[in-house]
Structure 1
Amino acid sequence: MPTTNYPLRRITCFVFGLVFVGAVTMPVATAEQPARMDTYVTDSAGALDTGDSQRVRAAVDTLYAEHKVRLWIAYVDNFAGTSPQNWAARTARQSGFGERDLLLAVATRDRAYAFDGEAPSGVSESEIDRILTGQVEPALRDDRWADAGVAAAAGIGSAMSGGGVSMGPVLLIGVLIVLALVGLLLYQRYRQRARDRAELEQARSTDPTDPAALAALPLEALHARSREVLVELDDAVRTSAEELELAVGEFGDAAVQPFRTALEHARAATAKAFAVRQRLDDAVPETPDEQRALLIELITTAGHADRELDARVAEFDAMRDLLIDAGPRLDALTRDIVELTARIPASEAELTRLTGAHPASVLEPIADNVTMARERIAFADECVGDGHREIARPVGEQGAAVADIRAAESALGQARTLLDAVDGAAAHIRQARAGIPAALDELRGDLDAAAGLTEHGGEELASAVAAARTVLENADTAAEADPLGAYHDAIAADGALDRALAAAGDRKRSADDLARRLDQALRDAATRVRMATDFIATRRGAMEAIPRTRVSEAQRHLDEAQRLRADDPAAALEHARAAADLGGRALQEAQAGVQTWEVRRPPSGSAQAGAILGGILIDSMLRGGMGGGRGHHGGYRAGSFGGSGGSRRISRGGRF
C-alpha cells in the first residue's frame, strides 16, 4: 500500500470511532408501543420514586374499594408517534378493559396525556372534564406526576360520591326557600284570620234588624255571624223557657201570658232561622247572591226575635223580683236539692242495670247523666250558699243573690232532666222492643207484596227490598243489642219499601194501614227528637249551631207531622220520618260537639265546670252583646229571661 494514503486511513478510522462511541454513550428515546397492562400503575418513564408509586397505587386501590371502578395509570416517555387518544385506545383493547376500566396515560417526554374509558355511573362528562382540566393537567404541567394520578383517582371517587359539587350551600338555599315559603303561607293565614276577625267584629256591631247594613258585609262574615246569632238566640229562648215555667208555678198562666206570647214568637223565629241555616247546609248549593239573601233573612229574623224578648224584660223583672222573697226562694231550692239528691242512688242503680243489659252504644246519650246531675246539684248547692250570704248583706248590696238564685234554679232544672232521662230510658227501650215484632211483620208483609212486582218496581223497589231483607236478617241480633236502633231501622226500611210499592202501583194504603204506620213513625220520631233535645239542653255550653239546627228542624218536622196527622197522614208520615232522621243526626253531632269541647277544655270535675257545659254559666266576655254583670263565678254569669244581650241588665238588680 502506498505510503501517501496512510494518513487518510488513520483519519477515517478516527472519525468512525468517534461516531461509534457517540452512538454507545448518548441516551436514546425508545418508541413505546401500546401493550397489555398487567399492573394498575406502570412507570416505564421512571417518573415516580418509591413513595410516589405507593401513593398513586393507594389512590387507585381506594377508588376500587369504594366504587368498584378500576383506574389504570401508565407513565411512558412517548406515544410512539401516534396521538395520545389512539395510543390509549389501543392499549385498552390489548389489555381487555371493560366498562368499569379507565386508563390514564401520561407521556412525560412528549408532555401529553390521554384518558380513556366509559364515564362511571353517576359521573357526567362535564365532571370528567372538570377533574382533568382542574386537577390533573395543573399537576402534569408542574411535573408532579404522582399528584396527577392521585388527583384523577380522588376526583372520580368524589364525583361518584356526590361530592363533586358541595351540597351544603344547595341544602342551605333549599332550607331558606322552604322557610320563606312557610313564613309567607303563615303570614297570609295570619292576615286572612285578622281580616276575618275584623269582618266578624264589624258584623257583630251591625244592627241585626237592618237588611241594608247587613248587605254591605262580606259573605263569609255573614256566615260566621249567622251561626253565632243562632247559638245566642237558641240559648236565650231555652233559658227564657226555663224561667217562664218557674214563673207559671208562682203566678199562674194568666199572669205570664204576655211573656209566653213573646217566647212563642221567638221560638217561631228561631225555628225559621234554623230552617234557613239547614237550607244553606244541605247538599243543594246556592249561588253567592242566594246565600247572601238567605243569611240576611236569617240574621234579621233572629234579631227581631231577640229584641222582642228583650222588650219584655223590665216588665217581667217587676213581676218576679227575686230579691223580695229571696230567703223563701233559697229555702225552696234547698228542698229541691234534697229531693234530687235522694233520687241519685236510684237513678245510679237504674243506669248500672241498663249498662249490664245493653251495649254501651245504646246508652251513650245518658251514660254521663248521673255524674252530670250530681255536678249540677253540687253547683246549685254552692249557689244557694252564696245566695244566703248575699241576702245577709245590707240593703242595696244584695243584688248578687239574684244571679245565685237563677243559676241554682237552672242547675236543678237540668239535674231533673238528666235524671228523668235515665229513669225513662228503660221505658223507651221497652217500647221499642215491644214495637219491633209488629214492625217486622209489616216488613215481611210488604216483602210478600213486592215479590210479584219485581218487573214493575225498577231499581227503587229492588233497593228497598234488599234493605228490608238486611233488616230482617239482622233483626234478632240487632233487637237484642240495640232495640232503639233496630226499631228505627225496621220503621225506616218499611217506609222505603212502602214508597217503592206505591210507585210500582201495587196498591194504595188504606187509612187504617197508613195510620198504624204513622203511629209507629211518630213514636220513633218523638223518642229520637226528645233524646237529642234533652242532650243538647243539658250540654248547651258545648253546642255550636249545627246540632241546634238539626234538632230544630227535627222538631219542626215532628210538629208538622202531628199537625197533618188527621188531614194528610201520608204527608205526616214523611214529616215523621224526616224528624226521626234529623233527630238522630242532631244527637250524633251534639255528642261530637261535647267531645270536641272536652278536648279543648278538659273538664275539671268541678260543679262550676258542669254548669259551664250546661250553659247555666255563660262567659260574659263572649260576643259583642255580652257586657257587665259578671256576678262572682269567675267571669261567668247566670242566664235569664230575655235576649242574648240581657247580661247588661244584671247589675240593675232582678230579672224574671
Structure 2
Amino acid sequence: MPDALSWLPALVVFGAAALALAGAVVGLRRLGDRRERAELAAGRDAEVRAKQLIVQADEAVRDAEREIAFAEAQFGAAAARDTRAAVERARAWLREAFLLQQRLDDAESDTAAERRTWSARIDDLCRSALVAIDDVTVELGRRRRQERGAGVELPALRDDVAGLARRLDAAEPLLADLASRFAAAALAGAQAARSRAAASLARVDAALAEGEALVARAQPTAPLLAEAADGLERAGRDLDEVESIEGELEAARTAADEDAARLGEELAAARSERDRHAVADSAAALAAAVGEASEVLAARTAHRGDPVLDRDRLRAARDRLEVARATARTAQSRIDGARGALGGAISIAESQLRVAEAAIARGRSGVGATARTRLAEAERQLLIARQESDPVLALDAARRASARASDAEALALYDALGR
C-alpha cells in the first residue's frame, strides 16, 4: 500500500507546477492585452492629430492648386512649371496619407505598433506637403511682387481695400438671395470664397496699419505693402468667384435640362435595344444601365437645388448608358455575324468530313488510331455546331470540326503512304 501511494507527492508537485504555469500564461496574456489596450489608447491622440493634419494639408493643396491656375494665367505655363511640380509632389504625399488613414479607419483590428507607425507616417507626409505648399506660396508671392514692382503706395492700397470691402458687403445679400433658390451644397464654394476674401482683407488691413506706423517712423514699407497688394489680389479673385456663381448655376441648370432631354431620348432607344438583345450578359448590363439612368431621371426633383450635381449625375448616367449600349451593339453584331457565317462553316465542315472519311476508307486497316480519333472528334464538333443555340459557339464548333477533319485526312494519307 505505501508503495502504491508513493507517486502521490510527485503528482501533487507536478499538478501544482502545471497550475502555476497555466496561471502565469493567463496572467501574461492578460498583461499583454492590457498593455496593448493602453498603447492603443495612448496612440489615439496621435491619430487625432494625423486626421487634423490631413484636413489642413488637403485644404492647403487645394488652395495651392487654385493659385497655380492663376499663376499659369498670369506668368504662363512654362514659368509656373516648377511650382506646379511642387504642388503635384505635395498631392502625391497627401494621397499616400489618405491610404494610410484608410487603413486606420478600416474595421479590421490593427496592432498598436502598426497604428502608431501609420499615424507617424501620416504626420510626416502631411507636414512635408505643408512645407512644400508654403514654399510654393512664398515663391508665387515673390514672383508677383517682382512683377508688380516696389512702387506700391499706401493710399492706393487703402482705396483698393475700400473697393473690395464694398464688394464683400454686397456678396452677403447676393448669397442670401441665392440660398433661397439653390441648395447649400451648391453655394458651398462661393461661401468658402467669401470667407477667404474676408480673411484676406483682414490681413491686408492689419498689414496696412503696420505700414502706416512704419511710414510715421520713416522706416521702409515696400515689402510689407507688396505683400498687402498680393493679399488684395487674392481677395479680388475670391470675390470674382462669388459674383460669378449665379451665372454658373443658371448655366448648369440649363445644361442639366438639356442633358435630361438627351438622356430621355437615349433611354427610349436603349430600352428598345434591351428588349430585342440576344446576348444574356450584355443584355443584363444594358438593363442595369437603363435602370440606373431611369433612377437618375426620376430623382432629379431632389437635386434641383444643386444644378451642378444634377448635371454631373445626368452626364455620368448618360456616359454609362452609352458604354452599355455600345457593348451590347458589339455583342449583337458578333452574334449576327456568327449567325450569317454558320451555314457556310457547317457546309465546309461536312465536306471536309466526307473527304476525311474517304481517305480512311481507302487506307482501310493501314490507317492508325490517331486519324480515326480526329475524325470522331470532328463528327462530335459538327454535332455540337448543329445543336448549339448560341451562333458564336456553334460557329467555333463548326470551325473546329473542319480543322479536326482536315487533320484526320492528313494523318490517313500519311499512314497509307507509310504502309
Considering Cα pairs closer than 8 Å and 6+ residues apart, tell me whether 1 or 2 has the greater RCO: 1
TM-score, normalization by structure 1: 0.34
Structure with greater strand percent: 1
Structure with greater helix percent: 2
TM-score, normalization by structure 2: 0.49
